[in-house]
Chains A and B, each alone.
Chain A
Amino acid sequence: MTAAPSLDDDLGRLRGMLRIRRFEERAAELYGAGKIRGFLHLCVGEEAVAVGVMRALTEDDAVVSTYREHGHALARGVPPDRIMAEMFGRAEGCCRGRGGSMHLFDASHRFFGGNAIVAGGMPLATGLALADKMLGRRAVTACLFGDGAVAEGEFHECMNLAALWRLPVLFLCENNLYAMGTALALTESQVDLCAKARSYDMPADRVDGMDVTAVERAALAAVATVRAGEGPRFLELATYRFRAHSMFDAELYREKREVERWKLRDPIAALSTLMKLGGALDDAGLSALESEVGAELDAAVAFAEAGTLEPVEDLTRDVYATEASDAR
């Protein structure tokens, strides 16, 4: 994340996506084993968005995300062991177990949360950007949300406000075609999401969200204009989730065939194939990558397993800040 993004770092992109994929698979297993509870939303299939976008940001930028945010957090640099411990409800978690899967925060990475209210993070992102602009900082706020969010009033209010005040926000809509089980066309009179952004006089582009390089390139270009003070931008990232909406979803609303068709465009397979064809990766290289990622996740799970439970006497801790200095 800190390194200057380089368009020829395919290995870095592949590693980033593989970490997310394997993390999510581990999370699903651990959910089945009862180690993780609550709602769990996995982003398998959508890894290219997380990796491509986060590679386009710098340390000083801010990220606001949704409840489907493990991938965003990982790609942003939030350590997997802290995320895993959070989902185990442990004191060593990134939010001391107070947030869980849907509410990952990490101030040190300027990761301002998962947010379990659809579109609920958008006003926050708008305000983070307002502060950056008023304080003369050159930071960008990346605001991620799903296709479902565009039906909410908060989406429209924020598009208008950010465009009106030319705030340094990059709005990133992960269009995976469904909001839970409802296809976009069943809820939207206008299914061209970029048209919505343009109606607020905001430049908008649709990007292939299964192609990590395309995402990164589009994000880099958009970030550059936002950072230059040209106002907010909107990117629609066309993607697909391969797994259910959450762990409680019978997937009645879509055909197996549709899922299989999208899996042919698996962003990880696509990149590794490309790399192999170009001679940048071989089977040994890929399995080395797999074991590297596997070892990191083994360590994350062990860290979470070894984590402690916060004492119940601390139940009402951190409802209020006590010191004026708490507010940096």
Chain B
Amino acid sequence: MPGSDAVMVRTTWREAMRAALREALQADPRVFLMGEDVGHYGGCYAVSRGLLEEFGPERIRDTPLSESAFVGAGIGAALNGMRPIVEVMTVNFSLLALDQIVNNAATLRHMSGGQFAIPLVIRMATGAGRQLAAQHSHSLEGWYAHVPGLKVLCPATLEDARGMLASALADPNPVILFEHVGLYNVEGTLRSDAGAVPIDRAAVRRAGTQLSLIAYGGMIPRTLEAAEKLAAQGIDAEVIDLRVLRPLDTATLVASVRKTRRAVIVDEGWRSGSFAAEISARLAEEAFYELDAPIARVCSAEVPIPYARHMELAALPQVEAIVGAAREVVGTHA
């Protein structure tokens, strides 16, 4: 419970994540962090900087470049009494550990008839925007959200960066936490007593009446920006932050769309087979007769993310595209 003497402190998204890691390591001796360059280097995105000095090499473990072995070792350690946090540098590299995540972490409980739990957290960076081109920039969280047995979290706000890790560690299931690379440097204020947050619900980030903008992770800041632009043009948009891709909080989405009767989904994944497609389907299944306009999607262009700045920008969902899609959806039946 937030105490009354809490104050607001300025921080960054990266620092909020680091504070969450530090708190988790302090709170439970079974918690440890392992991954490539998490220790001596300080984390490829500097999230774990300083933790090696504070907690030592037993609990801040630099691993060899062997995604399958150390992700799988995290699963084994979770099965055997530890609470590992495994960091994979980016979602692209996690494909080398896909076997362990999909064939072991997601299945062992079920295949064993419920004999085992896997209290494992896997953190990984995702997303584009830093001109890292097509092998470091993809948004594949929707793939993981396809798999029963996994939970998939996509923090967007400082509160969620600070609070989702504790909840993920408390969960007896394998949880994947996606950190969008565009968020690490976001600055803002956070309550000094910020802590664990629920990981089963979507959140309304901006209340509105005329359409629902549905997004998650790295797309949230620009979706909020689009909503402000729309407001200036007299269009009142609600912004829903999915927060958790699996299990999906369909009820919050449907409630929003029942109210606004229009929906635009913003997803950094490619449109074909995207998570946005799943959202569209659920809205069509559960709110079809309440819709006043076709559902619209703003997704990445169907291209491996290119290096050149102008091309990368063109490939990704931008504020103007969100505004444009929203205007069209509202205009269809205005």
- Interface positions of A (Cβ within 8 A of B): 62, 93-99, 103, 105-107, 112-113, 115, 117, 120, 122-132, 134-135, 153-154, 157-158, 160-161, 164, 316-328
**CA distance in complex: A106, B111 (Å):** 11
- CB pair B70–A99 under 8 Å, yes or no, is no
**Chain B residues numbered 52-101 whose CB sits less than 8 Å from any CB in chain A:** 58, 63-64, 66, 68-82, 84, 96, 99-100
Chain A residues near B104: list those with CB within 8 A. Answer: 115, 117, 120, 123-124
Q: A99-B112, A127-B84 are in contact. List 15 more A-B contacts (CB 8 A).
A: A95-B113, A123-B72, A127-B75, A127-B78, A129-B76, A134-B82, A157-B69, A160-B69, A161-B69, A316-B148, A318-B109, A324-B170, A324-B171, A324-B172, A327-B78
Q: How far is the CB of A188 from chain B (nearest CB, A)?
A: 20
Chain A residues near B58: list those with CB within 8 A. Answer: 134
**CA distance in complex: A127, B58 (Å):** 14
Q: How far is the CB of A113 from chain B (nearest CB, A)?
A: 7
- CB pair B109–A154 under 8 Å, yes or no, is no
Question: Taking A95-B112, A98-B112, A99-B111 as contacts, is the C-beta distance between A127 and B77 under 8 angstroms?
Answer: yes
Determine if B282 is an interface residue (Cβ-Cβ < 8 Å): no
Which of these, B66, B112, B114, B118, contacts A327 with CB under 8 Å?
B118
- Interface positions of B (Cβ within 8 A of A): 32, 58, 63-64, 66, 68-82, 84, 96, 99-100, 103-104, 108-119, 148-149, 151, 170-173
- CB pair A105–B172 under 8 Å, yes or no, is no
**CA distance in complex: A324, B75 (Å):** 16
**CA distance in complex: A327, B31 (Å):** 14
- CB pair A164–B77 under 8 Å, yes or no, is no
Q: How far is the CB of B270 from chain A (nearest CB, A)?
A: 27
Chain B residues near A327: list those with CB within 8 A. Answer: 78, 117-119, 172
- CB pair B114–A318 under 8 Å, yes or no, is yes
Chain B residues near A320: list those with CB within 8 A. Answer: 109, 149, 151, 173
Q: How far is the CB of A130 from chain B (nearest CB, A)?
A: 5
Which of these, A132, A154, A161, A319, contacts B148 with CB under 8 Å?
A319
- CB pair B81–A126 under 8 Å, yes or no, is no
**CA distance in complex: A318, B109 (Å):** 6
Shortest 3 CB-CB contacts between residues of A and residues of B: A123-B72, A127-B76, A96-B113
Chain B residues near A164: list those with CB within 8 A. Answer: 64
30 example contacts (A-B, Cβ-Cβ < 8 A) are as follows A62-B80, A95-B115, A103-B111, A106-B115, A107-B112, A113-B111, A113-B112, A115-B104, A120-B72, A122-B69, A123-B69, A124-B76, A124-B100, A126-B76, A127-B79, A130-B73, A130-B82, A154-B72, A154-B99, A157-B68, A317-B114, A318-B113, A320-B151, A321-B109, A321-B118, A323-B172, A324-B171, A325-B172, A327-B78, A328-B81
- CB pair A135–B81 under 8 Å, yes or no, is yes
**CA distance in complex: A113, B118 (Å):** 14
- CB pair B77–A128 under 8 Å, yes or no, is yes
- CB pair A161–B114 under 8 Å, yes or no, is no
Most buried by B among A127, A129, A164: A127
**CA distance in complex: A318, B173 (Å):** 11
Chain A residues near B66: list those with CB within 8 A. Answer: 153, 157-158, 160-161
- CB pair A131–B171 under 8 Å, yes or no, is no
**CA distance in complex: A320, B109 (Å):** 7
- CB pair A131–B81 under 8 Å, yes or no, is yes
- CB pair A132–B80 under 8 Å, yes or no, is yes
Chain B residues near A96: list those with CB within 8 A. Answer: 113-114
Q: How far is the CB of B135 from chain A (nearest CB, A)?
A: 18
Chain B residues near A131: list those with CB within 8 A. Answer: 76-82
Question: Taking A124-B76, A132-B80, A154-B99 as contacts, is the C-beta distance between A98 and B117 under 8 angstroms?
Answer: no
Q: How far is the CB of B272 from chain A (nearest CB, A)?
A: 27
Closest residue of A by beta carbon distance from B106: A319
Question: Taking A157-B68, A326-B172 as contacts, is the C-beta distance between A130 and B77 under 8 angstroms?
Answer: yes
**CA distance in complex: A120, B76 (Å):** 11
Which of these, B80, B99, B172, contacts A128 with CB under 8 Å?
B80
Chain B residues near A117: list those with CB within 8 A. Answer: 99, 103-104
- CB pair B82–A153 under 8 Å, yes or no, is no
**CA distance in complex: A209, B172 (Å):** 40
Most buried by B among A97, A125, A128: A128
- CB pair B77–A318 under 8 Å, yes or no, is no
**CA distance in complex: A164, B75 (Å):** 19
Chain A residues near B170: list those with CB within 8 A. Answer: 324
- CB pair A153–B73 under 8 Å, yes or no, is no
- CB pair A124–B75 under 8 Å, yes or no, is yes
**CA distance in complex: A120, B73 (Å):** 11
**CA distance in complex: A323, B71 (Å):** 23
Chain A residues near B99: list those with CB within 8 A. Answer: 117, 120, 154
Chain B residues near A318: list those with CB within 8 A. Answer: 109-110, 113-114
